[in-house]
Structure 1
Amino acid sequence: MTSVKDDLPDHALALLGYVMDGMRREVLEQTSLIAGPAHGLRSSHIRLLSLTPVDGMRVTDLAERVGMTKQALGEFATGLEGLGLLESVRDPSDRRARILRPTARGRRAVADSEAVIREVESRWRDRVGHQRWDALRQTLSDAAEPDVSS
């Protein structure tokens, strides 16, 4: 019988997916154990909140920043507003546009979540070795930079 770990695809997309899934599981487990606004937040919530500037950003610009459609981001943001983590205000320069910004509760959720992520990352660093983990982080950081040669 084939186990879950057998025959893993060897392409980067699948391997990164397995790593992301594992880290997401650990972060979710840890955030479900803490009290406060980060309790049980999914990694997608944490990502959106951490990419939303304190002074806010227009929905259209934030959607581009996080790689979502404006409509999808709007629905997602509505859920975070319901949790008291984001607030929506009208753009004073264009009353038709909405600006999203984290609330004090949302900023606390980001800080708490980032602490959990650092703990999880530290465990993974110990597991694979400090030098290899640091090289992986640097490689991912380099790969995440936009390609300006095109």
Structure 2
Amino acid sequence: MSGVKDDFPDHALSLLGQVMDGLRRDMHARTSQPGTPGMPASGRGLRSSQIRLLSLTPPDGMRVTDLAERVGMTKQALGEFANALEERGLLESLRDPTDRRVRILRLTPDGRAAVAASERLIDEVEQEWRERVGPETWDALRAGLLAAVAARRDDERG
């Protein structure tokens, strides 16, 4: 009988998923440690999806609709994420002074600190993975991912 984690297919979706699962696990372990330098208490235990949303929120803030498009979420899903991060004191919600119906999300000082601390942790986790798989392999993986992202952006521009 095969175990739950045995016999994964070797197509790109499966392989990228397995790597992402490992990176997420390592990041969550790091963000959950008490006393992470620069990480506010409100940022402790952040998930990678929350870190991604915070890091993609511009310093001056962004409309919910535009931020949802930027992160590839529905407006409703982003709203739920934003509410949870707002409750933690990492995001704040403001009304657009030119159109009170429009909600703008902006990082709080703790949110900015959490992003900076998370970026340092991401660098540490990437360095550990680089050591684990070897510098040439890791650097080639990153170069391939950058090329794939650039090709996707070119396709989107038409």
TM over 0.5: yes
Within a 5 Å distance, the mapping from 1:48-87 to structure 2 comes to: 48-87=53-92
- 8 A contact 1:32–1:40 mirrored in 2: yes
Q: Could you list the runs of 5+ residues in structure 2 that have no partner in the other structure?
A: none
Whole-Å separation in 1 of the counterparts to 2:4 and 2:127: 25
> How many Å separate the matches in 1 of 2:5 and 2:74?
34
Q: What amino acid does structure 1 have at the position aligned with 2:77?
A: A
Q: How high is the TM-score relative to the length of structure 1?
A: 0.93
Q: How big is the shift at 1:70?
A: 0.6
SS of the residue corresponding to residue 33 of structure 2 reads coil
RMSD across aligned positions (CA): 1.5
Moved more, 118-127 or 32-41: 32-41
SS at 2:7 equivalent? coil
Q: Which runs of 5+ in 1 are unaligned?
A: none
Q: Which amino acid aligns with 2:13?
A: L
Task: Supply the distance in 1 between the matched residues of 2:127 and 2:43 (Cα, whole angstroms).
Answer: 19
- Residues of 2 paired with 1:34 and 1:15: CA distance? 31
- What is the match of residue 141 of structure 1? 146
Return structure 1 stretches of 4+ with deviation > 6 angstroms: none
Instruction: Quote the Cα distance in structure 1 between the aligned partners of 2:43 and 2:127.
Output: 19
Structure 2 counterpart of 1:130: 135
**Which aligned pairs between 1:84-103 and structure 2 lie closer than 5 A?**
84-103=89-108
Cα deviation for residue 5 of structure 1 reads: 5.2
Q: Match of 1:22?
A: 22
Report deviation, 1:4: 5.1
TM (norm. structure 2) is 0.89
Aligned length: 150
Write the letter of the residue equivalent to 2:154.
D
Q: Which residue of 1 aligns with 2:48?
A: 43
Name whichever structure is richer in helix by fraction.
Answer: 2
Is the CA contact 1:63–1:69 (under 8 Å) kept in the aligned structure 2? yes
Match of 2:11 in 1: 11
